[in-house]
Amino acid sequence: DSGVTQTPKHLITATGQRVTLRCSPRSGDLSVYWYQQSLDQGLQFLIHYYNGEERAKGNILERFSAQQFPDLHSELNLSSLELGDSALYFCASSGGPDSPLHFGNGTRLTVT
Amino acid sequence: GENVEQHPSTLSVQEGDSAVIKCTYSDSASNYFPWYKQELGKGPQLIIDIRSNVGEKKDQRIAVTLNKTAKHFSLHITETQPEDSAVYFCAAYSGSARQLTFGSGTQLTVLP
């Protein structure tokens, strides 16, 4: 068990809808990262938050947004969903820059 | 930004044999190189990592080597066992980009 908790485990929704994925980092970790994993794209970095502030952005679509709250949990919001957004979404946490990332077990999003 | 290439994409070995997975990176500022193992239905799990000031690191049957000049690093698994079967990802952390970039993964199958 990595100590990183992601909810829900599975999510099925329709195109055009909006969903929120939640992540609770390991106790004491200030950094939260979001990754998207699809079959043909591998693990794609979306965004990194450190202690509530955005630190880095990857190839995150404008329809996607994230935030990290004062209690350090994070949420990834996906809106105007398209079929191509179906993927596994992973959250990872770490204690600081270039420290090991510890991943949750992901949320599997299916857009129909 | 950083680009990480990983080879091979699939690898089959007989139980007891060794397995080697190779990665190259592009950003000379990258200074941290972890390896992750991902089993079906789970998030990536850190198995070993190496920093740019070290050339080799070993942990029981797993070792990683780093050649900074050539910008490549490798994972070596000796005495492979069926439970080593999984997808393995290499990654490189760039401090300038503040993100961990993953390779495309290697599906390792250990045949009994």
> For residue range A71-109, what is the model confidence (pLDDT) as tens digits?
999 999 999 999 999 999 999 999 887 789 999 999 999
Gyration radius of chain A's alpha carbons = 13
Q: Which residues of B fall within a CB distance of 8 Å from A55?
A: 98
CB contact under 8 A, B99 and A98: no
- The conformational region for residue B16 under phi > 0 = left, psi -120 to 50 = alpha, else beta, is left
Q: Which residues of A fall within a CB distance of 8 Å from B100?
A: 33, 45, 101
Q: How far apart are CA B105 and CA B86, in angstroms?
A: 10
The predicted structure's pLDDT at residue B53: 86
Specify whether the CB–CB gap between B71 and B26 falls below 8 A.
yes
Percent of chain A with pLDDT over 90: 87
Whether pLDDT at B105 is above 80: yes
Specify whether the CB–CB gap between B27 and B1 falls below 8 A.
yes
Specify whether the CB–CB gap between A85 and A78 falls below 8 A.
yes
Whether pLDDT at B67 is above 70: yes
Mean pLDDT of A52-67: 94
Q: How far apart are CA A62 and CA A47, in angstroms?
A: 12
At B41-64, the pLDDT tens digits run 899 999 999 998 889 999 999 999
Mean pLDDT of A18-24: 98
User: How many A-B residue pairs are in contact by the CB < 8 A criterion?
Assistant: 54
Nearest residue in chain B measured CA to CA from A38: B104
Interstrand relation of B106-111 and B10-14 (parallel, antiparallel or unpaired):
parallel
Is B53 touching A (CB cutoff 8 A)? no
Out of B89, B95, B103, whose CB is closest to A98? Answer: B95
Q: Is A106 helix (H, G, I), strand (E, B) or coil?
A: coil
Out of B34, B100, B104, whose CB is closest to A45? Answer: B100
Which stretches of chain A sit within 8 Å of chain B by CB?
2, 4, 33, 35, 42-43, 45, 48, 55-56, 58, 90, 92, 97-98, 100-106
> How far from chain centre, in Å, is Cα B110?
17
Residue with tokens 């630190």: A55
Nearest to B106 by CA among B30, B19, B47: B19
Q: How far apart are CA A4 and CA B76, in angstroms?
A: 28
DSSP string of B35-99? EEEE-TTS--EEEEEEETT-SEEEETTEEEEEETTTTEEEEEE-S--GGG-EEEEEEEEETTTTE
CB contact under 8 A, A98 and B31: yes
